[in-house]
Structure formats: structure tokens, C-alpha cells
Structure 1
Amino acid sequence: MLVLHLLKISLPIFLLASSLALAKPPPPIVEHEDPIEVDDKLTLSKVISDAMEKFPDSSWLKSLENEANAIAQRGKSWTAGASQASLRFQEAASGTLHYVDAGVQVPLWNPGQRSAERAIARQAESSGAAQAASVKLRVAGLVRSALWDIALQKIRHEQAVADLDITEQLYNKVQRRVELGDLPLADVLLAETERLQKLSTLTLAEAELMHARKRYTSITQSTKLPAKYAEELVDLKEIQHNHPVLAAINSQIERKQAEIKAIKLVGSGQSNIAIGINSDHGSNDSRSNETESFNIGVNVPFGGEAHLAPHIAAAQVEMAKLISEREQLFRDLEQAHHEAEHNLKVNAAEFDIAKQLQEVAEDHFKMMQFSFSAGEIDLMDLLKVQARAQLAILSAKERAIIIERDKALYNQAVGVMP
């Protein structure tokens, strides 16, 4: 309940931060190539779908689809392999006797083998779809992280702009008072040092923001940024067995099981049916039968278990490896879920503290400003309080963004798409 209450409190601040982020930014200190534009109609799910199409793994996913189609075509075939045609001609040394043999040999499916091949095709198609869902979730994680990194860097940049503005106002005030003889000349140098430090902080904050925006364009291959991408926290308390990552590896295991069954059904090899005709003719040769005949035969291999066993064993090794990877993946997902859940609680508590610190720091800073104007404190004391106040304000704004980011990362951990 405490977490939900604090998450509700954070929403107005996040909306305020979003509105500030959409405001016209100040001119850059350093020129950057930044083609990103905010698109009010663009949704997070659309960004992820578009990024998925341009993701490097898309060619691999297409190849999985082609493989499944190829296996399906094999299962539709009436024969277990390529047929063979033969033609043999024989002539006696005298040239008066001719033999011609022609035939066709067709490999046959073993009992249940064709159904097993069709099962592999179905599992290959299912595995391809599961791999695509898993990759899409991975893309969603990259996009989510990139977007919230931009939001966090925007807050830091905006705060750096505000801090520089306050410092410049203080510098101008100190300069006037020095000119009037109210403050020593050293205070102008101190105020100028503080101003330059804030300018340096702003320059670095601007660079980090540009880096974050570049990472987003690199991931999405797009210059369009959604205006809204906050997510509702899903009501899942643990990793489900249909998590896209688990579903993907489960589909691989199921396919490998189907392949093992198909290998076993090969047995000692493919049986073959052979159909042919024979022609026996001669020219004034008493040895010739002067006949044509039809023949049919079946070849059935046997005793090949020892040769098939290594293929079965190799497939079982691959399946055992997949099962081990699944167990490790499940542990990793549970750990990621725990960290996401814990981060939500910790940052919600931290946000409450940060808000209180912000209020205290702002009140203290106002008091010290009056004291400085009245000559009760020196500039150094004011700058110390100002630094604490600015840090407290930034911390509160960051926590509001971090909580919203943690919601998205929690949804990512439990495998839920936007």
C-alpha cells in the first residue's frame, strides 16, 4: 500500500517533468546533430514494433520462418527422399544380342516417420514465433531503457540550466554590491568561479542528454520520439511460465524432442521400392528370348541401430543443454524480478525522503538569501546552502522519473509488453 501511495504521489511530478521536457530547450552550448522530434501521435508500442522490423535479429527470424516452411514441404512429400531412375544397356560381343534394363527406385516413409516430420514442421513454426516474441521483448527493454534515460538526462539538463540561471543572478547581485562597496572584490571572483562551475556542469549535462538521444536513435533507427510513454504497473507477483523468454526456449526443447522422435523412426534407413522393365532381343541369335518383362522389388535395411545411436545421442545432448539453459534463465528472470520489485519499493521510500529534503532545503535557501542580503552571512555560506538546495531539488525530480522508469522495468522483468 505504501508503494502504491507513493507511486500516485509521484505522478503529478512526473507530468510536470514531462511538460518541462516538451518545453522549448535553451540554445545548446556545444553544437550537436540532434534530429529527434517529439511526435504526439506516436505510441510506445508503435516505436517497439517499428524498431523490431529494423532490429539486426530480424533477418535471423526470417530465416527461421523459411526453415519451418522448408520442413513443412518435406513433410508433405509422398516419398521419403529423392527417387532414382536407372537405365542399363548390354550388348553381346557378336553384336547380335541386346539387353536393356530400365527402372525407378523410390524411398518410402517408415511407419510414423512422415507424421514425425510434420510434427517437426509444426514445432519449427511455433519456435520461430516464440523466438520473435522473445526478441521483441528484448527490443522493448532496450527502447524502455533508452526513453527513460532520455527523461532522466532531460531533468538533469533542465536543473543545470536553472542552477546556472540562479548562479548568474547571484553573480550580478554580488557584482553590484562590490561596485557599491558592500562586499569585498574577492566575492566577485568567488561568484564567478561558481558561475563557471555551473556552466561546466550544464555543458556536461547537455552532452549526456545528446548521448542518450543518440542511443535512442541507434536502437530504434528513428528520429521520432513519443510524447508519452509512462506505463501502468502490471499486477504480476512472480515470473510466469509463459514468459516470452521461457516460451522461446521451451519451444526449442519441444522441437528437439520432435527431432529425436523422427531420428528414431528412421531406424536402419529408408526402405525402397524398385520398379523396372527388361528387354531381351537378338538378331538371328538363338540365345535371345525375344521378350520384355516387368519387375518389382523392395529393399528393407536392417541392423542399423548401432549407426543410428550416435545421432540420437547427439540430439539428446543438445536437448539437455537447452534444458540446462532454461533452468539458468528461470533463475536469472527470478533475480531480475526481485531486483525490479525491490527497486520500486526502495525508490518509492527514497522519493518521500527526497520531497521532504527538497522542502527543507528550499526554505533554508530562502532564509539564507535574506541573511546574505542583510549582510548577516558571507557569500561562501550562501553558496554552500545553495548547492545543497539545488542538489535536493534535482534529487526529488530524479526520483519522480526513476519511479516511473522502475514501473517500466518491472513490466519488462515479468515479460509484459507495453
Structure 2
Amino acid sequence: MTLALLAPAADAQTLRDAADAAWARQPAARTLAARQDEFAARRDATDSLLSGAPAATLSNRNNRLQRDTGLSEWEAGITLPLWLPGYQARTLALIERERESFVALVDEARWRLAGEVREAWWQYRLAANEREQAARHADAARQLVADVDRRIRAGDLPRIDLNQARGAEASAEAALAEADVRAHRTARAFLALTGLAELPAPGGMDETKRSADATAAHPRLAPLERAVAAARARLQIASRNVRDLPELAFGLRRERPLEGAGWESSASVELRIPLATDARNRPKVAAANAELIEAESQLPYAQAQVDAERDAAGRELARTAEAAERAELRRTLAAETQREYARAFALGNIDLPQRLRIEADSFDAELAAARARIEAARAVSRYNQAIGVLP
């Protein structure tokens, strides 16, 4: 596929459209509804009157293998797992904390993917700009060769100048080929990441500087904060749910002591309450406490990194804007100089090496100015990414 086939799409798309398209292809996005159903099912099961599924029992006792006097006993029962006070509420709280932690992880994954889309787009824009400038440089070099050849035939220039002009043309053509490869590679990388069929129009992909929501946690910090909350909920369960859940059993017995005797019926009620022991509780409390300490220790480190990224992005935003202004001034001055030297060359007041040097300076300044404009636009995207704002 050539770059001609990677022209911008007719319908302008935004960076948000590209990020949404990339997210729709991610496994996390495809399984999000299923995972939400999982949490809903766990919550519904925990919110019931019973702590688990009932169990039915059926048993028979006789002495056919011994004396076979006709002894027979049938017993049927049902066992109901119960909740102890506070156990159900703490379990529901843990499920909610785990759900919030999962949602935060999904949001973080989406934010990170948005950063990849942003970077992939601006890498393409920079490469496409270099290709555009290289193409213009190559066109100018070809025109200069034609002009030099015409003036050589007219006797205005020595034939050796044609070699210099053709050398400059070959250099410009080689630079164009290299820029074409980079532009094609970055374009393909962006399309592969987003799944789009065509490249969006550049104008619709620019961002404006945004501000972070003061009430919302940064997408990088939110999963850690939710992980701390979930770890605390697990520690709460480990330290306060100190025994296994009790069971209430109801039974009905039918028995006959001897062959020919009448059947007698009886009912039974059984309450099973497990005892709390250190062998059960200490490992769970220790594991939950270790998980909480680990989660809490990660948060300050991540906060420092987020603060550093925000500061760096803010500085980049300010400095790239200044650099774009300076680069534009240089481009304007270089263009004026190039026009004056072009007229001087046409009048025979300067030689070809001077003309080639001024032409190269002019194209370098134009390339630098265009690149500085793109870098300033990319700095806006990087700043928005650093403060945790999606496109």
C-alpha cells in the first residue's frame, strides 16, 4: 500500500473517534459487560437470605448385612447455610469495592490506550510533514536543475554547475524516499492501532488545552486508590468474619425396629456453628494486611510520577509554543533571503554554491517551522494526557 492510498478520510474524524475505535477493538472492552454481569450476579447471590446454596440429604440404615431382623431407618433433611450478624454487609461491601477497582482498571487501560493513539497520530503527523517538505525540496531541486541546464546551454553558467545541481537533486530525492518510508510506517501503525480504514483529516484531530476534574481521581491513581479500598474491605472480613458460617438443618426420620413392627416418625432440628480458631484466622488476617500494606505503598510512588508528568507536560506546552513562534520567525526571514538570492542568481550576481546553500537553509527553516507547529499541537495532547483527560 502506498501513501497515495492512505489519504485523509473525506469525513473528518476527531481524536476521540480514533481513540474510541481503538478501544472498541480491545479485549477489555469486549468483556466489560460480561464482567459487570459477574459482579451483579455475586451481589445478588450475597444479598439473599442464605449465605450459600441449600443442600438436601437422604440416608437409609438397616441390618441386612448382619442379622437381617428388619431394622430399617430412612432420614431426609435439608441444610440451610446462614449469615452471622455483619457478615453479609461486609461481604457486599467487598464486592462493591472489587467492582469499583475493576472499573478503575478499565478506565486506566482506556486512558493508556488513548495516550498510545495520541502518540501514534502525532508521530504520523510529524513524518507526513517531513515527507511533504521533502517533496517540495525535491521539486525545487528538479526545477533548479532545469534552470541550470537552460542557462548552461545559453552560455551563462559553466557545465560543472550542472553536476552540483544534479547532486543536490539526488540528495533531495533520497531524503524524499526516506521520509516516504517513515510516513508510510507511522500511517500503518496508526491504522493498525485504531482499526480505521482511512487516515482522519488532520484538522479534526487537533486538541485544545483541557483542565482536570478536581473531583475525579487521575486514571493512573484511581485503580490504586480502589485497590486500597478493596484491601481494607478484605482485611475487615478477615479480622471480623472470624468463623465459618453456621448451618441450620431440618430432618424427618422414619424408622422400624423389627420386621412387622410399625413405622415411627420423628423430626430433627440441628444448628451447626463452627468455632473461631487462630489456625483459620491468622493466615487470612496476615495475608489481607500484607495486601493492604502493598497497595498503600504503591500510591505515593504513583502520585509522585503523576505530579512529575503533569509538571513536565505543562513546561513542554509552554516552551513548544515559544519554539513555534521562533521557528516561524526564522522561516519568514529565510524565505525573504531565499527570494532575494534567487533574483541575484538569475541576474548572475551570485554563484550556484551560494544559491544551493541559501535554498537548503530556506527548506530547513520551513521544515523546522512546520515541525514546531506540530510539536506545539502534540504538547497540548500530551498535557491533556498527563492530567488524565481522555480525547
TM-score between both structures, scaled by the size of structure 1:
0.85
Q: Measure, in 2, the Cα distance between the counterparts of 1:330 and 1:401.
A: 30
User: Is 1:135 aligned to 2:106, yes or no?
Assistant: no
Q: Closer, same or farther in 2 for the Cα pair 1:56/1:102, shift >3 Å? A: closer
- Structure 1 residue runs of 4 or more that deviate by more than 6 Å after TM superposition: none
Q: Render the CA deviation track for 1:54-108: whole Å, top value 9, x for unaligned.
A: 1243245455424312321331232222333222222232332222232222221
Q: Measure, in 2, the Cα distance between the counterparts of 1:226 and 1:201.
A: 25
Aligned residues: 386
Amino acid at match of 1:234: R
User: Is 1:362 aligned to 2:335, yes or no?
Assistant: yes
Q: Closer, same or farther in 2 for the Cα pair 1:111/1:80, shift >3 Å? A: same
Q: Measure, in 1, the Cα distance between the counterparts of 2:140 and 2:264.
A: 113
Alignment map for 1:18-417 (pairs within 5 Å): 31=2, 34-35=5-6, 37-59=8-30, 61-62=32-33, 64-92=35-63, 93-227=67-201, 228-235=204-211, 242-283=217-258, 290-417=263-390
Q: Render the CA deviation track for 1:377-410: whole Å, top value 9, x for unaligned.
A: 3211221121111101111111111111111110
1:253 to partner: Cα distance: 2.1
Q: Is the 8 A contact 1:113 1:266 kept in 2?
A: yes
Q: Measure, in 2, the Cα distance between the counterparts of 1:373 and 1:170.
A: 11
Q: Render the CA deviation track for 1:333-367: whole Å, top value 9, x for unaligned.
A: 11211111111122122122212211221222222
Aligned to 1:5: none
Q: Closer, same or farther in 2 for the Cα pair 1:121/1:284, shift >3 Å? A: closer
Q: Closer, same or farther in 2 for the Cα pair 1:37/1:361, shift >3 Å? A: closer
Q: Render the CA deviation track for 1:181-232: whole Å, top value 9, x for unaligned.
A: 3222221111111101101111111111111111111111112443312122
Amino acid at match of 1:100: W
Q: Measure, in 2, the Cα distance between the counterparts of 1:34 and 1:132.
A: 35
- Superposition RMSD in Å: 2.4
Range with greater deviation from structure 2 (257-266 or 201-210): 257-266
1:297 to partner: Cα distance: 1.5
Question: The residue matched to 1:244 in structure 2 has which SS?
Answer: coil
Q: Runs of 5+ in structure 2 lacking a partner?
A: none
Range with greater deviation from structure 2 (354-363 or 69-78): 69-78
Question: The residue matched to 2:250 in structure 1 has which SS?
Answer: strand
Q: Closer, same or farther in 2 for the Cα pair 1:404/1:240, shift >3 Å? A: farther
Question: The residue matched to 2:205 in structure 1 has which SS?
Answer: coil
Range with greater deviation from structure 2 (94-103 or 197-206): 94-103
1:294 to partner: Cα distance: 0.8
Q: Closer, same or farther in 2 for the Cα pair 1:284/1:417, shift >3 Å? A: closer
Q: Is the 8 A contact 2:2 2:184 kept in 1?
A: no
TM-score between both structures, scaled by the size of structure 2:
0.90
